Structure formats: structure tokens, C-alpha cells
Amino acid sequence: MHAATCLRHRARRALGAVALAAAVTVGGSGCLFPNACPTIGYLSQVDVVLTGPQAAVADLVVMCSDLGCSTSAEAAVTAPPTEGPFWIATDLGKGHWRIDVSDSTPEEVTIEVLDAGGATLASTAEHLEWRRTADTGQCPGPVATDPITIDVG
């Protein structure tokens, strides 16, 4: 009787070892958790280049979609938006603006160039085609569009 009990224990151990090996193989191969992405945030970008005689007097570039509109970097620091998208427009100098987009990638937008008094100097409707800017594998990551050039006449 002791021999039969011993054989059953050996069979259970062998079966347990096979099950453990299968779990390690399946789990380690990524089949159990195929897309475990980090929770690190990232910003996507739209670059806007202003040209023309009025480009130097541009005070703000605003990008809008059906989700809402961007805000200036200065306004975002003092009073971050509580509704709509969290899009920040930053003047990089010499007619170059960057709009950081944190939570969506709209395809259809309107971009307006404003002077210090809020008057519209130029406005354009654009179709944005987003492309990845970093290899993040299967995980989401930053994207950007080709630069948008606006003539501010």
C-alpha cells in the first residue's frame, strides 16, 4: 500500500511540475498579458510656422476642433483648462509655434493667428495626418503632424 501512495505522490508532483512549466512558458511569452503598457504620459505635437509681413505681430496661435480649443502656455500655468481638451500653444520664437496635444489627435482643425488685441490675422482649416514619432511597440506613444505653414498677410 505504501508503494501505491508513493506512486500517486510522484504522479502529482510530475503533473504539478508540468503545469508550472506551462504557466511560466505561456506567461513569459506574453500570451497571458500581451500588451502591458506603462502608464507614462506623453505629448503629441502640431508645429505651426508663420510667414508673411504680419507674422511678427502674432500674439497667439489657437487650434480648435469639435472638442474645443487650445490655450496659451501662460494661461495654462495660471488657470489650467477645466473643460475641453488640454492643448497648449507655445511661442518658440521667430514665427514658430508648437501646440502640445495631450489627450486626443483630431483630424479636422481650424487654426487662427491672433494679434495682442485678439483680432484674427489669419485663419485656416486643416486636415491633420498623425504619424508616430517614437517606437513604442504595441503601446500608444507620441505622434506629430507635418508642420503647418500659415501666411499672415
Centre a 10 Å sphere on the Cβ of residue 135 and count the other Cβ atoms it contains: 7
> Strand pairing partners for 97?
48, 91
pLDDT confidence of residue 134: 78
* Cell reading at 51: 510667414
Q: Is 51 a domain residue? A: yes
Sequence-ordered list of residues with C-beta below 8 angstroms from that of 37, at least 6 positions apart, any chain:
136, 138, 139, 140
pLDDT confidence of residue 84: 82
- In this structure, the strands spanning 44-51 and 148-151 are parallel
Task: Say whether both 144 and 71 belong to one domain.
Answer: yes
Number of domains in the chain: 2
- Tens of pLDDT, residue by residue over 71-108, are 999 888 888 778 888 899 999 999 999 999 987 899 99
Domain around 100: 44-151
Task: Say whether both 59 and 122 belong to one domain.
Answer: yes
Q: Is 87 a domain residue? A: yes
In this prediction, the residues of the chain whose per-residue pLDDT falls under 50 are 7, 9, 11, 14-31
pLDDT confidence of residue 27: 44
pTM, two decimal places? 0.72
Task: Say whether both 140 and 107 belong to one domain.
Answer: yes
pLDDT confidence of residue 61: 97
Task: Say whether both 62 and 115 belong to one domain.
Answer: yes
Q: What is the DSSP letter of 6?
A: H
Task: Say whether both 102 and 60 belong to one domain.
Answer: yes
Task: Say whether both 10 and 52 belong to one domain.
Answer: no
pLDDT confidence of residue 49: 98
Task: Say whether both 12 and 53 belong to one domain.
Answer: no
Task: Say whether both 16 and 65 belong to one domain.
Answer: no
Q: Is 96 a domain residue? A: yes
CA distances for 148 relative to 2, 121, 128, angstroms:
83, 16, 9
Task: Say whether both 79 and 124 belong to one domain.
Answer: yes
Task: Say whether both 30 and 55 belong to one domain.
Answer: no
pLDDT confidence of residue 33: 55
CA 31 centroid distance within chain: 26
